[in-house]
Chains A and B, each alone.
Chain A
Amino acid sequence: MQNPTPRQHWMSILARAPRAQLCALYRPEPDTEFELIRAPETGLTQVRARSGGTGAQFNLGDMTLTRCVVRSPAGHLGYAFVAGRDRQQARLAAELDALLQESARQTQLLSDIIEPLARQQSAARSARDAEADSTKVDFFTLVRGED
C-alpha cells in the first residue's frame, strides 16, 4: 500500500501479527469492557488479479479471511480484517484498532505494540530479500580472440 494513513498502517501491521505475538504484547486492562458488535467470523474474499499483471481484472480464487468489530468503552469502533482463520487474532486486532483511535492512548500503544511488530515484520522481510539476493546471477563473459 502506498502512503498509508496511520490507521491503515497499524491495521496492516496487526493483520500480519500472529496471535502469539499479539498475546505477548497486548494485555487488556481488566476494566476495559469491549462490546462485541460483530463476533469474529471466518469467510472468504475473492482474490482479484489483472491479466498480464496490469490489464483487465480476473478472479484468481478465494482466500480465507476473518473479520471482527468491537466497540471500546470510549465508544470507538475497532475493525479487524485478517487473512486466515484465527478468530482470536481478529478479536485482539479489532480491540487494538479501537484503542489506537483514542488519542490519549495512541502514542503509548504505537510504541509498545505497533512499532515492535513493524520492526519484526520488516526484519523478516529483509531476511527474505537477502535470501533471494544470494541467488542473484552474476554473468561473466569469456573473452575470446586476440584483442
Chain B
Amino acid sequence: MYVAVKGGEKAIENAHQRLAERRRGDRAQPELSVVQIEQQMPFAVARVMTEGSICDPTLAALAIKQAGGDLVEAIFLLRAYRTTLSRFCSSLPLDTTAMQVNRRISAIYKDLPGGQRLGPTFDYSHRLLDFSLMAAADDSWAQGPAPVGADEARAEAADPETLSRVLQILEREDLIVTEQDDGAAPADITRDPPSFPCNRSARLQSLVRGDEGFLLALGYSTQRGYGRNHPFAGEIRVGEVEVLIAPEELGFAVSIGDIEVTECELVNGFTHGADEDARFTRGYGLTFGYAERKAMSMALVDRALQADDYDEERSSPAQQEEFVLAHCDNVEAAGFVSHLKLPHYVDFQSELELLRKLRTAGAPQEIPA
C-alpha cells in the first residue's frame, strides 16, 4: 500500500535558513568571498574541478563556498551545473610535453635534462602547525625576503626550454611499453555509461572523476601487496598547458587559453609476453589544477586495472575493474548512501511485522534471505 504523505514544508524552509546561517558562521566575522577561496584554497579548488569535471576555478570556488567547505557536496553542485551547459565541442588532445612546468620531479633519474624543479610543495615542510598564520592580517609575504637565487633564475629563464618526458629515456632504449595511439575516438562515460570490461579511455575518464580518498586507498592497497605492481614515480609535473579547439566554422585550430594540470607517470614492474623482451609497464594520472596525490593514486589504479593486458591474475580489489569503476564516483556513492535518509516507514513496518510473527509463532526462526 502506498500512502502519500505531505507536510514539513515549514520545517524544510527553516532548515534551509539554519543551513545558510551555519555556513555564514558568526556575523561578527567578515564573509568569505569566492575570489578569496579561489586564490587561497587552490588545492580544494583543484579537487572540486577534477572530480566535478569542469575546469573553471571560479565556479569551483563558488561551489566550495555554497557547500560550506564540504568538498563532496561542492563536487555534486558542479556536476549538477555541468548538465545545464551545452557542450560546444571537444578540444584537440592536450600536449603535456609542451607544458609550462611549475613543478617537475622524477624519482628514477637524479640528473635529467631540465633538472628537478620542486615548485610549491608540501613535501619538505614540517607538519607543525604554523601559528603565525593565525595573525589577523597576514601580509608578511609582501615584506618577506625574495627567494634565494630568484634573480639569477629570472635572468636564466629568458629562453625557457621544453622539458622532454622522462619516460622517453626508457622508450628510446625499448625498456618500457610504449603508449600506442590507435586513433580511436575516446569513450565518453558522460554520454554512454561504461559497460564492463571497458576500454582504457573510459577507465581513465572514470578515474579522473573518481573520489580521491577511494583511489588513494586502492592505490595504497596495491603497495601493501593487494595487486602489487612495483611502482616508481617516473615523472610528476604540474603546470600550464594550452587548450586548442578546431571549430568547424573556422576550419583551423584556435587556442582558447591555458589550464593548470597535474600529470603523473609511473614506471611499474616489468613483464614480458610469450616471445617478447621484458619491459617496464606504466600507469598514468592526470587532473585539473594542482592535485598531486590524486594524480598518483589514479596512476596506481590505472596500472592495477591493466591486469588482463599482462596476463596477471585479478586477485585484489584494485584490479577488479567493475568494482573500482562502479564505486569510485563520490556523487553516485553519496547519493545512494544518502537515500537511506528518505522515508522507509512502510518498508520498515513490513520488516517489523515479519520479525514479530517469527517471534510469536514459536516455530524455528528461519531468517528470510
Task: Identify the A interface with B (CB < 8 A).
Answer: 1, 4-5, 7-8, 11-12, 15-16, 42-65, 67, 69, 79, 81-85, 125-137, 139
Contact = CB atoms under 8 A, between A and B. Distances in A.
A60 B288 contact: yes
A43 B204 CA distance: 23
29 contacts: A43-B86, A44-B87, A46-B89, A47-B91, A47-B94, A48-B92, A50-B179, A51-B204, A52-B265, A53-B179, A53-B284, A54-B181, A55-B181, A56-B186, A57-B185, A58-B205, A60-B286, A61-B205, A63-B243, A63-B259, A83-B243, A125-B160, A129-B157, A129-B160, A132-B102, A132-B103, A133-B157, A135-B103, A135-B119
Contact of B254 (A50, A57, A81): A81
Nearest to A97: B254
Contacts of B59: 64, 85
B117 interface: yes
A50 B257 contact: no
A61 B209 contact: yes
B205 to A, nearest CB: 5
Secondary structure at the B interface, as helix, strand, loop or mixed, is mixed
Given A52-B265, A52-B282, A126-B157, A46 B255 contact: no
Contacts of B253: 1, 8
B160 A59 contact: no
A64 B243 CA distance: 12
Most buried by A among B93, B158, B160, B183: B93
A134 B153 contact: yes
B137 interface: no
B174 interface: no
Contacts of A4: 255
Contact of B188 (A12, A43, A51, A59): A59
Given A52-B284, A59-B188, A63-B56, 9 more contacts: A16-B257, A58-B187, A65-B89, A84-B257, A85-B58, A129-B160, A132-B117, A137-B116, A137-B117
B90 A45 contact: yes
A94 B139 CA distance: 40
A45 B88 contact: yes
A48 B208 CA distance: 12
Secondary structure at the A interface, as helix, strand, loop or mixed, is mixed
B69 interface: no
A42 to B, nearest CB: 7
A44 B150 contact: no
Contact of B184 (A16, A56, A83): A56
Contact of B242 (A1, A52, A63): A1
A8 B153 contact: no
A47 B258 CA distance: 12
A53 B265 contact: yes
Contacts of B115: 136-137
Contacts of A126: 154, 157-158, 160
B32 to A, nearest CB: 21
A101 to B, nearest CB: 12
B323 interface: no
Contacts of A7: 252
B241 to A, nearest CB: 9
Interface string B243-259: 11101011011111111
A71 to B, nearest CB: 13
A145 B57 CA distance: 54
Contacts of A133: 117, 153-154, 156-157
Contacts of A83: 243, 256-259
B119 A130 contact: no
A65 B90 CA distance: 11
B205 A64 contact: no
Contacts of A16: 257-258
Interface stretch (B47-55, B310-318, B354-362): B47-55
A15 B55 CA distance: 16
